[in-house]
Amino acid sequence: MAQPLALTSGEPAGIGPDITLAAWLRRRELDLPPFYLLGDPAALAERAKTLGLAVELAEVSTEEASAAFERALPVVATGKAATAQPGKPDGTSADAALASIRQAVADVAAGKASAVVTNPIAKNVLYRAGFRHPGHTEFLAELAARGGAAPQPVMMLWSPALAVVPVTIHVSVREALAQLSTDLIVSTARIVVADMKARFGLASPRLAVAGLNPHAGEDGTLGMEDVEIVAPAVDILRRDGIAVRGPLPSDTMFHAAARKTYDCAICMYHDQALIPIKTVAFEDAVNVTLGLPFVRTSPDHGTAFDIAGTGKANPSSLIAALRLAARMAAASS
């Protein structure tokens, strides 16, 4: 039997507990892979009560999680209490969220879990507690390093309709321009190709590389970045034997016919990638971190404090993240 998925609690005041409970309740209907939640059992029980959900919880060890999954939602305690109320993060929020992530990575590294699935975190809450990373992606890379050199983490947003990767991630547009380089585009694309082969089962992934400027720069008349930075990266990738096109005008890359011509769009900055996928596949897109020695997926949305504890949270993206994590882990084994 495959090992279960390790699901982190995320921000305890957000919708992570809500969508976790909702996903488990649909486990039979959707034939979901076994998973366990890393967090505070008392906090999850309180959220189930708030939502009026009759969910049996089982506080278990990691080794007991798969056997418990059918009859109860397995919860592996991290030892960190979470006292935050729905929509109201408190002083326990950051410790509870970070302990859950650390334990999930440790469980996968120890072979106790097959993949990490993360519930949404509130970065502003973590920053106030001294968290120094831009987000999950960079923190996971540090945990993966285990004292050595950290791998380059690559953020992919994946759905059946579209997969996108931003070369620069959680930085301002000004900083994205400063960071963008031929080498960064090449290293990012190589990681995408390697993981799409190893974990998505694609023998020859097709990449479409977006230009940075409007109309991909119009041969330099709208900026030289596409000529001097992006086009050389595409040439290098082509020489690697990768099926790649670009730089392409980003305003014509994402309509239905265009999406059929590639497996992943490599974009130059965050919103160039995330706006199209969240328009096309908001409810079932999955955040995937490539370039790590383990599989990690996450819903593509945030903590949604305004609806936490109301029963309005949609678990679709978490369900998609659980399914994709199981699929990727199986392909990697």
Per the annotation, where are the binding residues for substrate? Answer: 136-137, 278, 287, 296
Measured CA to CA, the distance from residue 5 to residue 28 in angstroms comes to 16
Residue identified by tokens 């999680």 is 65
Q: Is 135 helix (H, G, I), strand (E, B) or coil?
A: coil
| β-strands 243-248, 206-210 pairing | parallel
DSSP one-letter string for 239-257: HTT-EEEEEE-GGGSSSHH
Q: What tokens were used for 23?
A: 């996903």
Q: Is 138 helix (H, G, I), strand (E, B) or coil?
A: helix
Q: What tokens were used for 314?
A: 């949609």
Measured CA to CA, the distance from residue 208 to residue 231 in angstroms comes to 12
Residue identified by tokens 């034997």 is 241
* Residue 270 neighbours by CB under 8 Å, 6+ apart: 166, 168, 169, 170, 171, 176
Dihedral angle sign, alpha carbons of residues 53, 57, 63, 67: negative
Q: Is residue 157 within 8 Å of 280, Cβ to Cβ?
A: no
Query: Which letter does DSSP use for residue 150 in this model?
Result: P
Which residues are annotated as part of the binding site for a divalent metal cation?
A: 170, 215, 270
Which residues are annotated as part of the binding site?
A: 136-137, 170, 215, 270, 278, 287, 296
Q: Closest by alpha carbon to 225, among 237, 209, 238?
A: 209
Q: What tokens were used for 210?
A: 């977006």
